[in-house]
Amino acid sequence: MKNLKLKNGSEIPALGLGTSGLKSDQCTETVKTALELGYRHLDTAAAYGNQTAIARAIKESTIPRQELFITSKVWWTDLAYNDFKQAVEKILSELELDYLDMLLIHWPNSDIPLTETLKALQEVKAAGQAKNTGVSNFTINHLKKALSIAPELITDNQVEFHPTLYQKELLKFCFKNDIILTAYSPLARGEALHNSVIKNLADKYDKSPAQLTLKWLLEKDIVVIPKASSQKHLANNLEVFDWDLPLEAAREMELINNNNRVINPDFAEFN
């Protein structure tokens, strides 16, 4: 497993399991299978409604807590100071953990002062409830605002990122400011698996479309958290670290982006 270094020197596994949409027993069994296969990075959120199911999987596994990297997120309606602190307590209680390896602000909320949210985030970190902190679904403007207030807290920005939503300028900004970019929906919710360019390249190099897409992201030093539920797909996604992406394939995939989607317009930009 490849690891990437966060700005405080700690490491984050470059490939993890995204759990959005996984619920109850299916979630527990999927996480248990993933851990058995070698996954050590689990991504969840308060909004996913599956943290108790993940807790069961962790408890039933034999993996020591210190070998796991667990991320969760506070929902955008809970970003006021007291609400944020209470939300973190609930996350830890549901996961049955003393601390998170990464705690993220799930979405920006222009109705709540970011200074208030970051103050709560700083206190959560100081209390040892989160080893690393960051944000999710933040644009460059959002990041500039956060960095102007508490740059040490912004170590990760988790956003939708894949060949058909290649947020190149956001990636550059994150690199420039020593922020890891984590790609959720790295397979474009299955769209990448049916893209003709990716399918042809996968056939040419005897890889699956998922492997090719994940490799394209990993070679950019992006963390990927694909969701999978079958053992076959979980294993397939892990088999991306013992080969290099051919230069020709990388160049062709750079040209795929033809998607003008933006961050969810329901969440307003900071002024």
The sign of the CA dihedral 19, 22, 24, 29 is negative
From the candidates 48, 99, 184, 205, give the one annotated as an active-site residue.
48
How many CB atoms within 10 Å of residue 193? 16
- The rounded distance, in Å, linking the Cα atoms of 196 and 263 is 25
| β-pair partners for 100 | 130
Residue 183 sits at φ, ψ, to 5 deg, of -95, 115
- Cβ-proximal residues to 6 (8 Å cutoff; 6+ apart), any chain: 12, 132, 155, 156, 180
Tokens in use for 54?
């993940």
Calculate the CA 33 to chain-centre distance. Answer: 19
Q: Which residues contact 156 (CB under 8 A, 6 or more apart)?
A: 6, 12, 102, 104, 132, 133, 134, 135, 179, 180, 181, 182, 223
Amino acid in the structure at residue 159: V
Cβ atoms 218, 237 nearer than 8 A = no
Is 184 among the residues known to form the active site? no
Tell me which residue of 66, 80, 68, 70 sits closest to 48, measured CA to CA.
70
DSSP strand pairing (180-184 vs 17-18): unpaired
Which token pair is 98? 């003393």
* Residues forming the active site: 48
